[in-house]
Amino acid sequence: MASTRELRRRIRSIRSTAQITRAMQMVAASKMRKAQQAAISVRPFVRLLYRIERKATTRAIDFTHPLLRKRAVKKRAIILVASDKGLCGALNSNLFRLAGRYDPHSTVFIAAGRRAAQFVARTRRQLIADFPYGDTPRFPEARAIAAMARDLFLKGEVDEVQIVATRFVNTLVQQAVVMEFLPVGEIKALTSAGAESDEALAADTTEFVFEPSPEALLSYLLSHVLNIYLYTVLLNAKASEQSARMVSMKNATDNAEQMIADLTLAHNKLRQLHITQELLEIQGGQSN
């Protein structure tokens, strides 16, 4: 059985840890509200952009573009979006489990976030680019990643580009998902939620006039769709990270407080036992 001194030392140590986790919980909660608001507020615009892009491509029957062209997949690029720091529960582990399913011989990785780059290096996979992004993702950061993936696809170095990232659902639920990125015609996840189906778009007989031309309009639109789509992915990833960290730190704080309560009870019982023994010894000495 531990001594009272040992129990007091453990209580002090755990209380110090609880103070750290509580502080991290409060910081994550503050960042979480901002990140969640950014991820949610951009959704109506992204849905509208997706709707415009799908309607435009379904109306332009003869339109072809290299970003829309499907090819037999011999080599694939994965944009892996993870966090810069840990202490966010199973968020990164779930992402890396999905990323680990790809054949390392036919897959190259574009990492966004320090943990993503560390995973690729640790598993000896091919990392061709590493992009940082901050607590508040900015559009130029997403545009740089999208441009890298777009160049790889257009040059024929890869035949398909996918994204492995986290979709923000709510504070308690974050889903690790695989999303299509290139060719553009395959993009559905994140942007299509709440949008019309392809069948509904095809059934709409409304006529459209393209100015200056379908080719000029859609070529311009496709690049912006990729940039904004990836920006939405980064916003979702950051909202998921801060939410997972806040919940993880809250659980750690609650567990620490429960351990302190249990150790305090054990300390008091042991202290009372020592007092009782001393009283019995005093009484025994007086009787003698």
Q: Tell me, what's the pLDDT at 199?
A: 61
Per-residue pLDDT band at 125 (split at 50, 70, 90):
very high
Helices 4-41 and 214-287: crossing angle, nearest 10°?
A: 160
229: CATH = 3.40.1380.10
Strand pairing class (126-131; 107-112)? parallel
Phi, psi of 164 (to 5 degrees): -110, 110
Find the domain containing 183 and state its range.
28-198+207-246
Model pLDDT for residues 73-124, shown as the tens digit of each residue: 999 999 999 998 888 888 999 999 999 999 999 999 999 999 999 999 999 9
- The set of residues, in sequence order, having a beta carbon less than 8 Å from that of 195 and lying 6+ positions away, is 47, 50, 51, 54
Give a yes or no: residue 13 inside a domain.
no
Quick one: CA dihedral 139, 145, 148, 152, positive or negative? negative
Residue 129 CB-half CA count within 13 A: 17
Sheet containing 174-182: which strands, arranged edge to edge?
126-131, 107-112, 76-81, 160-168, 174-182
For the question of whether the overall pTM of this predicted structure is more than 0.85, the answer is no
Through-space distance between the first and last CA atoms of the chain, rounded to whole angstroms: 31
Model pLDDT for residues 209-254, shown as the tens digit of each residue: 767 776 777 777 888 888 998 999 999 999 999 999 999 999 999 9
- The number of angstroms, rounded, from the C-alpha of 212 to the middle of its chain's C-alpha atoms is 40
Rounded Cα distance between 109 and 103, Å, is 11
Model pLDDT for residues 2-48, shown as the tens digit of each residue: 788 888 898 999 999 999 999 998 998 888 888 888 888 888 888 87
Give a yes or no: residue 166 inside a domain.
yes
Give a yes or no: residue 114 inside a domain.
yes
Phi, psi of 77 (to 5 degrees): -110, 140
Give a yes or no: residue 3 inside a domain.
no
Q: What percent of the chain has pLDDT over 70?
A: 86
- The number of angstroms, rounded, from the C-alpha of 31 to the middle of its chain's C-alpha atoms is 14
Give a yes or no: residue 215 inside a domain.
yes
Give a yes or no: residue 283 inside a domain.
no
Rounded Cα distance between 71 and 182, Å, is 10
Number of separate domains in the chain:
1
Give a yes or no: residue 1 inside a domain.
no
Give a yes or no: residue 45 inside a domain.
yes
Q: What is residue 42's DSSP assignment?
A: T
